[in-house]
A and B are shown apart, each in its own frame.
Chain A
Amino acid sequence: MKGNIVISVRNLVKKFGSFTANDDLTFDVFEGEIFGFLGANGAGKTTALRILSGLSAPTSGEVMVAGYDAGKESEMVKRNIGYMCQKFSLYEDLTVRENIMLYGGIYGMSRQLIREQEQKLLDKLDFKEFRNRVISDLPLGLRQKLAFSVALLHQPKIIFLDEPTGGVDPITRRQFWEMIYETAAAGITIFVTTHYMDEAEYCDRVSIMNEGRIVALDTPENLKNQYNALNIEEVFIRIARPLKQTV
């Protein structure tokens, strides 16, 4: 496993009134790692994700993200992470260029730096001809590649991806995972939440939450061996089924 820890969670507890959404979570995520964060609806994933991204403070426990305390230095955490979800990521009625300017501006980047990063991004995606096109004119596959690149514009140490390849065709999907691999190889940590277990198979390690706790954390291969399962879906169905139905 790669050396440096970029997310360190120790005894994280988050309560809403008498309900414990996160019950004593402890785990580390490493530099350049692709980490899958799985769990059934209501297992506590979203709560944990909000804490890791500085949007919500833990009730107790220690959460360090990109070198900052997520409870006390949430602004610094936000500056050092990127976020992309499948459902919404770019403004559809703005052009490629305008979206880049907007995101760069929000992250407080200088005009010069935005221009440099824009150039790099357009070169890499071979996207120059699309510079002045509005997002709604672009095919879904291109939009997602662009959204991922824009989420990396401010050079974050960690990027959070929510169901990154949901709904795209199998070829685009694989191009997208190659972009993820390339990004991870450059030392950026990729934190993936998803409902789709075949997406989990692409991760270096996955954790599975059930009723506020992490019930499994290992490489996909080790988990499959441990539970004698053909795929992560089987592992998941075996251990993530809630004991009582929640609504």
Chain B
Amino acid sequence: MKIIESWRICKKYGEVQALDDLSFSVNESEIFGFIGPDGAGKTTLFRIITTLLLPDEGKMRVLGLDVVKGFKELRRKTGYMPGRFSLYSDLTVQENLEFYATVFGTTVKENYDLIADIYSHIEPFKKRTAGKLSGGMKQKLALSCALIHKPSLLVLDEPTTGIDAVSRSEFWDLLGKLRQHRITVVVSTPYMDEAMRCDRVALIQNGKILSVDEPDKIRQGFSRKLFTLRSADKYSLITALRKYPGILTTYPFGETVHVTFSGDSYDDSLLRHLEGLGIKDAVISEAEAGIEDRFLELMEKGVTE
């Protein structure tokens, strides 16, 4: 069974087209990621999936239920963790968890198995009020609360934004473990490196899906030969590369610069060109494209089409 089926969903806020004709499906027990910048439409889409917002056009079925007509039943079966911390800051860790369990007509004891891995990290502080927890701890509590009624679908809106790299990595490990409980996870993030932790991802920009696939396949969709260049003076290197006749794209990429050439190759004239502009230490090598290279390529196409 498909967990989510979306047909041509559109949503406008006044003149702004937040979601533009979105069609996709999510399979059972997969971790499905929406990867895109702020303003791409991720939160709007998640609010439609969780029945908190109505689409203007299109249809969506979640767990076999229509998001408009079946909202009451659907809300019992989904867990939602919004982007902003939304637990009660003046209740303790334990009180928050018990509150969420009660609202969904269950008990902490009944579903403790499901959250044990996550909750055990914060249980030593269960008497502390939620407002006094660190970012990573708040996030683990929020995840516990979203899971306590054993939902079939868990929807997480930017769960790792503002969290340090150690906690982020732990968080993704915990999500991976939910597969064994057959819980489907839909998660959004603005960070490309997190795409690789998902089973499938949708790249989203300006309310449109640019590509949906397994992260490795998206990466392999990069259509050109990619090269990396290094030099101690990156700024001069970038400026000089843009003046090279055969250059197609030039993007800074961490310590290196990623480039493509119009003929997919370069010759000796490149290093001579750089030397002529005072860059004598440039080193070039061929490289494998990452998911961010592909995102850049898809964005450029969107601009030129």
Interface residues of A (CB under 8 A from B): 39-42, 139-140, 166-172, 174, 177-178, 181-182, 184-185, 195-198, 201-202, 220-221, 233, 236-237, 240-242, 245-247
Contacts and interface: CB of A to CB of B under 8 A. Distances in A.
A59 B125 CA distance: 30
20 contacts: A40-B167, A166-B190, A167-B37, A169-B37, A169-B205, A171-B296, A174-B253, A178-B238, A178-B252, A181-B238, A185-B236, A195-B162, A197-B193, A198-B192, A198-B254, A220-B255, A237-B166, A245-B124, A247-B132, A247-B133
A193 to B, nearest CB: 11
Interface of B: 36-40, 121, 124-125, 128, 132-137, 161-169, 190-193, 205, 233-236, 238, 251-255, 292, 295-296, 299-300
Nearest to A238: B166
A40 B167 CA distance: 8
A246 B134 contact: yes
B108 to A, nearest CB: 20
A41 B136 contact: yes
Given A181-B252, A240-B165, A139 B39 contact: yes
A195 B128 contact: no
A212 B240 CA distance: 42
Contacts of B124: 245
B38 A41 contact: no
Given A169-B37, A170-B295, A221-B255, A40 B238 contact: no
Contacts of A245: 121, 124
Contact of A41 (B134, B251, B255): B134
Nearest to A196: B191
Given A167-B161, A195-B165, A237-B165, A220 B254 contact: yes
B203 to A, nearest CB: 10
B8 to A, nearest CB: 24
A197 B121 contact: no
A181 B161 contact: no
Nearest to A34: B234
Contacts of A246: 134
B166 A178 contact: no
Contacts of B134: 41-42, 246-247
A106 B115 CA distance: 51
The 8 lowest CB-CB distance pairs between A and B, nearest first, are A201-B254, A181-B235, A169-B37, A167-B38, A40-B164, A185-B235, A167-B190, A41-B164
A40 B254 contact: no
Nearest to B293: A170
Nearest to A198: B193
B303 to A, nearest CB: 8
Contacts of A178: 235, 238, 252
Contacts of A247: 125, 128, 132-134, 137
A167 B255 CA distance: 20
Which of the listed residues A172, A195, A221, A246 has the most CB atoms from chain B within 10 Å of its own CB? A195
Which of the listed residues A170, A185, A237, A241 has the most CB atoms from chain B within 10 Å of its own CB? A170
Contacts of A201: 253-255
Given A166-B161, A169-B205, A237-B165, 10 more contacts: A167-B190, A169-B36, A169-B299, A170-B299, A172-B37, A174-B252, A181-B234, A181-B252, A236-B166, A247-B132
Given A169-B299, A170-B299, A247-B132, A140 B39 contact: yes
A170 B293 CA distance: 9
B27 to A, nearest CB: 27
A180 to B, nearest CB: 9
Nearest to A184: B235
A177 B234 CA distance: 11
B2 to A, nearest CB: 29
B223 to A, nearest CB: 16
Contacts of A166: 161, 190
A68 to B, nearest CB: 28
B14 to A, nearest CB: 12
Which of the listed residues B36, B38, B40 has the most CB atoms from chain A within 10 Å of its own CB? B38
A198 B40 CA distance: 21
A245 B162 CA distance: 18
A171 B250 CA distance: 11
Contacts of B190: 166-168
B164 A195 contact: yes
